[in-house]
Structure 1
Amino acid sequence: MLLGVNLTSLTKVLRCAKDDDIRTLHAADEADVLNLVYEAKNSDCIVEYDMKLMDIDADTLTIPETKYDARVTLPSS
């Protein structure tokens, strides 16, 4: 799943939550919005945000499986 998220906007929305809030992010397949839900741990308060996703024209890159021959020894002290 590819999500085109504006990181500046996402950071602003994530900072709205308190440290003990439960954060849930939802995005359906082929979705055009990212749904963020904050649930307050000590109350019945639920806040919901819908963030519009950006349309990114990107090719999926595959990383080939590669074996590396190496032995690394590190001292423990």
Structure 2
Amino acid sequence: MSIQRKPRVTDAKAEEFIAGAPDASEIPATYSKGIRKGNKRQISLTIAPELLRKVDEVAKRTGQGRAGIINMAIYRALEGDVFAS
């Protein structure tokens, strides 16, 4: 008897939630900065040690990864009124 994969069950609500995420859409093919990683781009970031410590504290407290915290902070800053002119 061979080992078979468990069939993937599609949950419409879960798919809708994922599709609504800020990074769910494909990056236009014309945008070439950074290294392509799926539908995201990998970049290099230099950050002050104290700010990194705070990011790591929030990540640990919320159970998220460092990249997730940084992505959300950037998204909220750009979509909010932080840089409004």
Same fold (TM over 0.5): no
| Higher normalized helix content (fraction of residues) | 2
Pairwise TM-score range, normalised by the shorter structure? under 0.3
| Higher normalized strand content (fraction of residues) | 1
| Greater RCO (Cα-Cα under 8 Å, separation 6 or more) | 1
TM-score by length of 1: 0.27
TM-score by length of 2: 0.25
